[in-house]
A and B are shown apart, each in its own frame.
Chain A
Amino acid sequence: MEDIAVSIEDVSVRFNMQTERIDGLKEYFVKLLKGEVNYKEFWGLKNISLNVKKGEIFGLVGLNGAGKSTLLKVVAGVLKPTSGKVSINGNIVPLIELGAGFDMELTARENIYLNGAILGYTKKFIAEKFDEIVDFAETREFLDAPLKNYSSGMLARIAFAISTVVEPDILIVDEILAVGDYKFQQKCMNRIQGMLDKGVTVLFVSHSAAQVEQLCSRVAYLERGQIVEIGETKEVMEKYLKE
């Protein structure tokens, strides 16, 4: 168990999709009495089992809706699985959707503190790392402007800088490297590479086959919430690209 960073055992996630949306109390009771509340069960993930070893870069591929993001959310602890167990060995930093906690009315400075708090950092820690975050994001001139005046690229920079200022054991990367200009993307990649050199474990989702092939040591290929194939990058990618 020592060398396993993320262990996923027989995890399933069920979504109850109402066939029609019922938003109101009255509507709900009327339908309930008529026996018309229909739920369509939908398995977002079904019986997924996999282990990610420490220091490994593990890729997840699959078409849209295959369950990649759902699986990442389960690992990040945002979504509780309907059945099965997930154990995490180490602290985790999810780079899922960056800047989810930004408040557009507040300034960048205030948002750095707010977002840091959402990620569970202490005030002292943020204060210490504040300059590092600002320097990395290269937004010092606009620190006291409200975020609503920022461009999306600048938002992404700040968000990435905040999220990666800690040194995680496990990093979850979901399609985020498509932000910012070319130079900043390079900077992000360098920072991730730097973490990798220190032996961080990565769960990686990308639609860029080239990126997956370049970075990952093992890959799982998902389809409709189930694992089709899991194994060495080369073999799995061959199969995935053929489909």
Chain B
Amino acid sequence: MRIYIQNFLKYRYLLSQLVTRDFKVKYKRSVLGVLWSLLNPLLTMTILTLVFSKLFKSNIPNYPVYFLCGSVVFNYFSESTNLALGSIYSNASLIKKVYFPKYMFPFSKHIFSLINLLTSFIAVIIVMLVTKAPFYSAGLLFFIPVFYLFVFSIGIGLMLSTAAVFFRDLAHLYGILITALNFLTPVFYPIDIMPETMQYYVGLNPLTQIIQMLRQLIMYNELPSLRQNLVLLAISGVTFLLGVLVFRKKQDKFIMYI
């Protein structure tokens, strides 16, 4: 264990370099640059608000904030796991030639997306100001669901990045899965418009639980119950450990397949 921590510390500068590289490459030559992390959720939110506030008229009090809480969480999950999925095989040339901890690649993608997520929270604040939504002290605890989300996504990302080395089709398949998951997560609709049997399954989705916790805190000044916390802690912890196990078991074989 100590060796792992030492090794991580030795390469932590690599981690920050990988993350900065991703930002530089992503926003290269775009005039607005990092501002897009902020504008993107704002603009999507505007479109969806225009469309859906008519559809689910009186159901949700502050639809823009409701939607943003869901979409920042979902976008983080979808972006980070998608990037992590390809992170091993697209860095094949490096992995074949230099030794360093391979988990740095998927991990750096999660850090990258996390920074994007935190920027998007500024969008949430802007929209709250514009819609004159009340600010609650419970909202300051937003980092709790974000933490569960982060740990959960790393676990999924590690598994995906491993699996994608052996089955490239996963990259295409996963895009479809994410779309399906988007509809099974109450990002832009209230959960109670679903038929009851479906509601049960949608409720099982960890992302649903994370989004609901975030909305409780930000929109309703409600503290999440101990049970909610324990369930999410267990789900994200187990996913994380599973991801680590799978990745560790297979990482020495990567080089033969990439």
Q: Which residues of A contact B (CB under 8 A)?
A: 15-16, 23-26, 28, 73, 76-80, 94, 96-97, 100-101, 103, 105-106, 110, 113-114, 117-123
* Residues of B participating in the A interface, judged by any CB pair closer than 8 Å: 10-11, 13-14, 16-18, 21, 24-25, 28, 93-100, 167-170, 173, 252, 255-256
User: Within the complex, what minimum Cβ distance (angstroms) separates B166 from chain A?
Assistant: 8
Please, which residues of chain A bring their CB within 8 A of the CB of B17?
Answer: 113-114, 117-118
Interface contact A23-B98, CB-CB below 8 Å: no
Nearest chain B residue, comparing its CB with the CB of A114 = B17
| Contact yes or no, B167 A117, CB < 8 A | no
In the complex, what residues of A have CB within 8 A of residue B100's CB? 118, 120
Choose one: B11, B93, B167; the contact of A23 (CB below 8 Å). B167
Question: Which chain B positions have C-beta within 8 A of A97?
Answer: 97
Q: What separation, in Å, do the CA atoms of A209 and B173 have in the docked complex?
A: 51
Q: State in angstroms the CA–CA spacing of A25 and B163 once bound together.
A: 10
B169 x A80 contact (CB < 8 A):
no
A94 and B97 contacting across the interface, CB-CB below 8 Å: yes
* B167 contacts A28, C-beta separation under 8 Å: yes
Residue in A28, A78, A103, A123 whose CB lies within 8 Å of B96: A78
Question: Is A24 touching B13 in the complex (CB atoms < 8 A)?
Answer: no
Closest to A24 in B: B169
- CB pair A23–B168 under 8 Å, yes or no, is yes
Q: CB distance A24 to B168 under 8 Å? A: yes
Please report the C-alpha to C-alpha distance between residue A15 and residue B256 in the assembled complex, in whole angstroms: 7
Residues of B within 8 A of A77 (CB): 99
Residue on A nearest B15 in the bound complex, by CB:
A117
Q: Give every chain A residue within 8 A of B94 (Cβ-Cβ).
A: 100-101, 118
On whether the beta carbons of A76 and B99 are closer than 8 Å, the reply is yes
Q: In the assembled complex, which residues on chain B have CB atoms less than 8 Å from the CB atom of A26? A: 169
Check B96–A122 contact: CB distance below 8 A: no
- In whole angstroms, how far apart are the Cα atoms of A118 and B25 in the complex? 18
Nearest 9 pairs of A and B residues by beta carbon: A77-B99, A100-B97, A117-B14, A117-B17, A24-B169, A80-B252, A25-B167, A23-B168, A117-B13
A78 in contact with B13 given A16-B256, A24-B169 (CB within 8 Å): no
Chain B residue numbers with a CB within 8 Å of A78 are: 95-99, 255
Taking CB as reference atom, which chain B residue is nearest A27? Answer: B169
A-B contact pairs, 21 of them (CB 8 A): A24-B168, A24-B169, A25-B167, A25-B170, A26-B169, A73-B96, A76-B98, A78-B96, A96-B97, A96-B98, A97-B97, A103-B21, A105-B24, A105-B28, A106-B24, A110-B24, A117-B11, A117-B14, A118-B100, A120-B10, A120-B14
B13 x A123 contact (CB < 8 A): yes
Partner pick for B167 among A24, A76, A121, A122, CB 8 A cutoff: A24
A119 contacts B98, C-beta separation under 8 Å: yes
Closest to A103 in B: B21
Known: A76-B99, A79-B255, A96-B98. 8 other contacts (CB 8 A): A78-B95, A78-B99, A94-B98, A94-B99, A103-B21, A114-B21, A117-B14, A118-B98
Distance in Å from the Cβ of B250 to the closest Cβ of chain A? 12
Taking the closest CB of chain B, its distance from the CB of A11, in whole angstroms, is: 14
Q: Give every chain B residue within 8 A of A15 (Cβ-Cβ).
A: 256
